[in-house]
Amino acid sequence: MITNNILSFAKSILCEVLEPGCIAVDATAGNGYDTVYLSRQAGVEGRVFAFDIQEEAIEQTRQRLNEECMPENWTLFHSGHENMLSLIPEEFHGKVNIVMFNLGFLPGSDKSIVTRPETTLKALADSLEILATGAMICIAIYAGHPGGAEEDAAVREYCTALDYHYVRVIQSEMLNKPGYPIRLLFLTKL
Ligand SMILES: C[S@@+](CC[C@H](N)C(=O)[O-])C[C@H]1O[C@@H](n2cnc3c(N)ncnc32)[C@H](O)[C@@H]1O
C-alpha cells in the first residue's frame, strides 16, 4: 500500500469494491486521471460515467482515456454531478459500485471554478440513491482554496448526520501535512 499520497491510499481501499464488470461514477472528471483508473478497473464488462461542468475537463478526460487505450466502457457528461440521477440511465440505479468525488478546482486551470457545497450535497444524496448495497462513495476534500473550508465543513456535517444504520462513514486525514488539511471520506451503504 502506498501512503505517501492520499489518493493512492484511497485507491488501495477502493480496489476492494472495484472488480471487473463494476459500475463506477467519477463525479468530478477534471484531468481524467480518476476516470482512467475507474475505466481500467471496470474493464470491458463494466461501465463508467464521468461528470464535469468544464468542457476543458471533459476534453482532457476524453483525450486521456483514448491515449491510455481504455476499453469503450465510459460515458462523459459535460454537466454537473448534481444531475446524475437524471443522466445515468435508470437501468444502472441501485447497481453502482463506486462514486468518486475529488473536490475543488481543476489543477492547471481557472481556480475560481470549484465544486460548491449545495451541488456537492445534492450529488452525495443522489449517489446514495444509485449505489448498490455494500457499495462506496469516496470523497477527497481540500480546504485550502477559497470556499474550500466551507465545503469541507458542509460535507462533513452532512456525512456526520447520515443514519448509522444506513451508511457507515470513515474519515482519514494526513495529520502532519503542513498548511490546509486534505481529508478522505469513505461512505459504505449498508
Ligand atoms: C480536483 S478536480 C478533479 C480531478 C480529477 N478527478 C482528476 O483525476 O484529474 C475538480 C473538478 O470538479 C469539477 N467540478 C466543479 N463543480 C462541479 C460539478 N457541479 N459537477 C461536476 N464537476 C464539477 C471542476 O471543474 C474540476 O474539474
Average pLDDT (39-65) is 98
- Label residues 123-142 b or e (16+ Cβ within 10 Å = b): bbebbbebbbeebbbbbbbb
Which atom of ligand 1 has the smallest separation from the CA of 109? 27
Pairing status of strand 74-78 against strand 96-102:
unpaired
Taking only the tens place, the pLDDT of each residue in 121-150 is 999 999 999 999 999 999 999 998 999 999
* Selected residue with higher pLDDT from 155 and 174: 155
pLDDT tens for each residue of 43-52 = 999 999 999 9
In a domain, 163, yes or no: no
Query: pLDDT value at position 122?
Result: 98
Mean pLDDT to the nearest integer, 11-40: 95
CATH of the domain at 37: 3.40.50.150
In a domain, 70, yes or no: yes
Please report whether residue 101 resides in a domain.
yes
Number of domains present in the structure of the chain = 1
Quote the mean pLDDT of the chain: 95
Q: Which residues constitute the domain of residue 48? A: 6-145+176-189
Asked if 134 and 188 count as a contact pair (C-beta separation under 8 A), the reply is yes
| Residue in this structure with the C-alpha cell 457545497, named with its chain if needed | 117
Residues within a 6 A CB radius of ligand 1: 28-34, 51-54, 57, 80-82, 102, 104-106, 113, 115, 119
Asked whether residue 119 is domain-assigned, the answer is: yes
- Find the 117 Cα to ligand 1 centroid distance in Å: 13
